[in-house]
Amino acid sequence: MALSRARIRKRRNKKGQGITEYGAILAFVALMVSLTFGFASGSLSKSVSAAFSVVRGNLDNLSTAAASSS
Residue 2: per-residue pLDDT: 59
Q: Where are the domains of the chain?
A: 1-39, 41-70
Helix axes 41-69, 2-39, angle to 10 degrees: 100
CB atoms within 10 A of CB 8: 10
One-letter amino acid for residue 15 of the chain: K
pLDDT tens digit string along 45-69? 777 788 899 999 999 888 888 888 8
Percent of the chain having pLDDT more than 70? 71
